[in-house]
């Protein structure tokens, strides 16, 4: 395995492929890595045999804090994210502690961010699949989407687009989430938590 300090990072946006899912709350991970790709000036392309799209590039200022990163969007549907992520981790020789899952989180208010490493999946099928495939010791950027209103089922809520009210602030929150990922990769978890965990 490569020296961990210089090893690349794998930033995984969790979501479902296809235009019908693009604006869903469950796809906020895709939105964040799309923005990171735009900042790096890269375009997603199919990743060899892995069922995913990737962009390779660098994050951070010139010098020691500059990091090699692979942005990824699994194309396997949320519940099967683990296979493609593990294949990419192995192909790019990324330590599990350098894997970051960017995902929607029901138990946090809309737009609130939480960074952590390890832990349970809290019923999130994308995380469940990743943990089953490679263990739990990867980073997570949890993007709050809040709880469904009234009696709406969780499955229906996460597969609906953000509301018109939520969309007014969505770009700002996605931008902040992308900043949090960059901070995590270049400055470490503690620094990113103190800056972005509300």
Which residues does the annotation mark as catalytic? 26
Residue 151 CB contacts under 8 Å (≥ 6 apart), including other chains:
none
Nearest alpha carbon to residue 133 among 144, 125, 141: 125
Q: Between the CA of residue 39 and those of 1, 36, 90, 155, 187, what are the distances in Å?
A: 29, 5, 26, 32, 18
CA distance linking residue 39 with residue 51, whole number of Å: 24
CA distance linking residue 146 with residue 154, whole number of Å: 10
Q: Please give the full DSSP string across 68-137, using - where no structure is assigned.
A: EEEEEEESS-GGGTHHHHHHHHHHTT--GGGEEEEEEETTS-TT-EEEEES---TT-HHHHHHHHHH-S-
72 close to 56: Cβ distance less than 8 angstroms: no
């Amino acid at each position: 395995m490569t020296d961990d300090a210089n090893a690349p990072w794998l930033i995984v946006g969790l979501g479902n492929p296809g235009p019908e899912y693009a604006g869903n709350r469950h796809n906020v991970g895709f939105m964040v890595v799309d923005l990171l790709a735009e900042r790096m000036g890269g375009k997603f392309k199919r990743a060899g045999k892995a069922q995913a799209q990737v962009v390779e590039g660098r994050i951070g200022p010139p010098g020691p804090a500059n990091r090699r990163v692979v942005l990824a969007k699994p194309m396997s549907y949320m519940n099967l994210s683990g296979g493609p992520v593990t294949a990419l981790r192995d192909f790019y020789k990324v330590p599990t502690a350098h894997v970051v899952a960017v995902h929607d989180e029901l138990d946090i208010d809309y737009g609130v961010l939480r960074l952590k490493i390890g832990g349970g999946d809290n019923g999130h099928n994308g995380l469940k699949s990743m943990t089953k495939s490679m263990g739990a010791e990867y980073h997570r950027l949890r993007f709050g989407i809040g709880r469904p209103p009234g009696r709406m089922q969780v499955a229906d809520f996460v597969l609906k687009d953000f509301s018109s009210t939520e969309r007014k602030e969505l770009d700002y929150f996605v931008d902040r989430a992308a900043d949090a990922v960059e901070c995590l990769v270049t400055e470490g978890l503690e620094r990113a938590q103190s800056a972005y965990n509300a």
